[in-house]
Structure 1
């Protein structure tokens, strides 16, 4: 019974006309909404806009910095690996197929001219060792000196022609040798180098520590603990034809 009554009430309600809104009412509501939107604080709108822009820029900046550090870290590791695996070719010099580096001579740092066996070992590690005949020490009083004699006569392993071929770049080889000798022998003041034939004056050379240090502009003992300066100050001079010619022109 109750259900029938509720059903009849629903039918009557549905049959009633739907409420409508006049055009004036619609316009009034529309105007109010526009006014409220217009009255919203421009500062607030601007602040919100800037906030969004700032957040976006901050995100981009953080991403860029992260990428930068990752890239440089990778590049740095590659550089270190490359350096460890491939030492700079400028740090060494070659004569007649043999390569010489600063490290080859470092063990003799602080040697003295009075130590005959040590001087002989130093000469064995320098260019021309296979044609070295004798060496003499002058240790009675300063200045202390060293005389080195190179030649082929009486040596089975070198003929005259091979000897001449080996010493074709004699000025460069001898300059390298005396540079190392002054560097590792602390109290060495002068060096005489004689190449056979002794009658040829061009095959006799004399050097002093003073002129060798003037050539490089530094105390020679410093280079053993400064490989970078050895690479950038000493070897470029020895490898330069013009520097070699200029140095020997004053001999």
Structure 2
């Protein structure tokens, strides 16, 4: 009987170890989801989970019944209004670059809601986001724009 319990505990330990190794890997190349569609629940979920505050994402909705198609991201996270705006801009930038038919994204934080359209965000940057082909270049662009203190606020006026 003792051998059986040891074997079960050993097996359970191996299973837990393997599960931990296969859990959501933030080092995964997010650009593997380039050219996804709003209707691809798995791709949108994987992208959103890898972005800023992905650990606080409590759910999302895909609006695909009629154009323009959009995404609603719901976060369970308390932060400052500036953090919410910067997170919305950063995450929208990546989603619009990777999800080809997304036209708008609504971000629901604890008590704040922000909606960003692809058209407005691209005008703000002066660049077409779908032209980006790697994470580093897109991250640099976003961080450069977010460095300026009041730049994030301009998008939401």
Query: 1:213 aligns to what?
Result: 122
Give runs of ≥4 in structure 1 deviating > 6 Å: none
For residues 124 and 171 of structure 1, the distance between their equivalents in structure 2, rounded to whole angstroms, comes to: 18
Please give the root-mean-square deviation of Cα atoms over the aligned residues, in Å: 2.5
CA-to-aligned-CA distance 1:36-64 (integer Å, 9 cap, x gap): xxxxxxxxxxxxxxxxxxxxxxxxxxxxx
Please say if residues 30 and 135 of structure 2, whose CA atoms lie closer than 8 Å, have aligned partners that are also in contact: no
The partner residue of 2:45 within 102, 112, 120 is: 120
Please say if residues 90 and 142 of structure 2, whose CA atoms lie closer than 8 Å, have aligned partners that are also in contact: no
Residues 130 and 168 (structure 1 numbering): CA distance in 2 closer, same or farther, change over 3 Å?
A: farther
CA-to-aligned-CA distance 1:134-186 (integer Å, 9 cap, x gap): 100111121001011111xxxxxxxxxxx425886221111100110001000
Residues 230 and 124 (structure 1 numbering): CA distance in 2 closer, same or farther, change over 3 Å?
A: closer
Please state whether the residue corresponding to 1:147 is helix, strand or coil: strand
Of Structure 1 and Structure 2, which has the larger fraction of its residues in helix?
1
TM-aligned CA deviation for residue 208 of structure 1: 0.7
Count residues in correspondence: 132
When Rg is computed on C-alpha atoms for both structures, the one with the higher figure is 1
Residues 149 and 228 (structure 1 numbering): CA distance in 2 closer, same or farther, change over 3 Å?
A: closer
- Does residue 145 of structure 1 match 2:80? no
CA-to-aligned-CA distance 1:11-30 (integer Å, 9 cap, x gap): xxxxxxxxxxxxxxxxxxxx
Normalising by structure 1, we get a TM-score of: 0.47
Normalising by structure 2, we get a TM-score of: 0.73
Please say if residues 59 and 73 of structure 2, whose CA atoms lie closer than 8 Å, have aligned partners that are also in contact: yes
Query: 2:99 aligns to what?
Result: 185
Residues 128 and 230 (structure 1 numbering): CA distance in 2 closer, same or farther, change over 3 Å?
A: closer
Residues 111 and 196 (structure 1 numbering): CA distance in 2 closer, same or farther, change over 3 Å?
A: same
Q: Greater CA deviation, 163-172 or 107-116?
A: 163-172
Please state whether the residue corresponding to 2:36 is helix, strand or coil: coil
| Structure 1 unaligned residues grouped into runs of 5+ | 1-99, 152-162, 198-202
- Does residue 242 of structure 1 match 2:146? no
Residues 247 and 124 (structure 1 numbering): CA distance in 2 closer, same or farther, change over 3 Å?
A: same
